[in-house]
């Protein structure tokens, strides 16, 4: 089965480097991701554009809009990206620069970092972003749920805040990254209710293959996730993603296979990504 990783990272972020070294034990580099993707039959990865201007500074108010990928001088041919947005940098010139990047064939969506920046999804600051998404027929991916920084503010990343945006902008497809974990049941209602809201299953675990197995075997750890997946009653609304380098690719694939009925594997691991990110078809 061919697999699309709909949520990964390839940026010079200090916390990602530390996680790779200390927790997930992955080779966070060009060679590392190329090998992991080849071994796991991942044909495409969608990176989330992110830039850290100061060491250990994310969320960094001085980071530019647009934010791209900058881990290595080489970007693997198997990786495209969602351009990142900093709400503190959305003046007319920033928006003009952002719009220019949307013509880049390698840009397949837009990423908004809720919780890392203190703005709700429905705040006025993001309205120009949704207009651009509609104009260029690109999806918008929101960080939701727990933040990978103590400086994040959780009230801004709660998945219920996405409902208003989905209703206001029916002509745009949205992706709820991380399924709003740990508020997955709230996230499930937003996905269930809105035809233009999808969710990716990235970032639900941080660590090695052994850590993934330990969580997977826990009788209670993923009860909330399984409940939420069943509640939506529509596995075609979900996309596979790893949040690499937070976990090694192949063990995380096996974990997601375990929580998704086999009859929907082709949708979750491949078909839904094609629907939500139509620009990626040329790369497959």
% the chain with pLDDT above 70: 100
User: In this structure, what token pair is assigned to residue 283?
Assistant: 């790369």
pTM above threshold 0.85: yes
Q: According to the model, what pLDDT value does residue 228 have?
A: 97
Domains contained in the chain, number: 1
What whole-number distance in Å separates Cα of residue 264 and Cα of residue 257?
Answer: 9
Indicate the burial class of 129 (C-beta count within 10 angstroms; 0-12, 13-18, 19 or more).
buried
pLDDT tops 80 at residue 57 = no
Contact 67, 51 (CB under 8 A): yes
Question: How confident is the model over 220-257, as pLDDT tens digits?
Answer: 888 999 999 999 999 999 999 999 999 999 999 999 99
Average pLDDT over residues 8-37: 97
Q: 272 by DSSP, 3-state: which?
A: helix
Residue 220 pLDDT:
85
Query: Residue 55 pLDDT > 80, yes or no?
Result: no
Domain extent for 155: 3-283
30 to each of 27, 72, 155, 193, 248, how far by Cα in Å?
A: 9, 7, 35, 39, 14
Q: What letter would DSSP give residue 222?
A: T
CATH number of the structural domain spanning residue 114: 3.20.20.140
> Looking at 13-22, 139-148, 211-220, which range is the least confident one?
211-220
What does pLDDT average to over the chain? 96
164 and 127 Cβ atoms separated by less than 8 Å: no
Indicate if the pLDDT at residue 185 is higher than 90. Answer: yes
């Amino acid at each position: 089965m061919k697999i699309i990783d709909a949520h990964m990272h390839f940026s010079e972020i200090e916390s990602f480097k530390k996680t790779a070294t200390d927790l997930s034990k992955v080779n966070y580099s060009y060679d590392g991701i190329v090998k992991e993707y080849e071994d796991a039959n991942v044909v495409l990865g969608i990176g989330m554009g992110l830039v850290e201007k100061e060491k250990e500074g994310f969320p960094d108010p001085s980071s530019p809009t647009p934010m791209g990928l900058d881990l290595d001088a080489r970007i693997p041919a198997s990786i495209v990206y969602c351009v990142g947005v900093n709400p503190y940098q959305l003046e007319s010139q920033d928006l003009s620069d952002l719009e220019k990047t949307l013509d880049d064939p390698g840009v397949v969506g837009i990423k908004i970092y809720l919780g890392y920046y203190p703005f709700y999804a429905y705040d006025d600051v993001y309205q120009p972003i949704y207009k651009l998404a509609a104009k260029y027929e690109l999806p918008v991916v929101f960080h939701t749920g727990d933040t990978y920084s103590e400086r994040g503010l959780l009230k801004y990343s709660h998945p219920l805040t996405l409902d208003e945006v989905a209703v206001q902008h029916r002509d745009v497809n949205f992706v709820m990254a991380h399924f709003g974990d740990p508020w997955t049941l709230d996230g499930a209602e937003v996905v269930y209710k809105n035809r233009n809201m999808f969710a990716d299953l990235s970032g639900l675990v941080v660590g090695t293959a052994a850590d993934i197995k330990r969580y997977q075997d826990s009788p209670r750890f993923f009860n909330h996730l399984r409940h939420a997946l069943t509640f939506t009653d529509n596995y075609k609304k979900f996309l596979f993603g790893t949040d690499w380098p937070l976990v090694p690719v192949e063990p995380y694939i096996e974990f997601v296979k375990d929580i998704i009925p086999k009859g929907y594997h082709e949708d979750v691991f491949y078909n839904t990504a094609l629907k939500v990110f139509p620009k990626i078809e040329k790369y497959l």
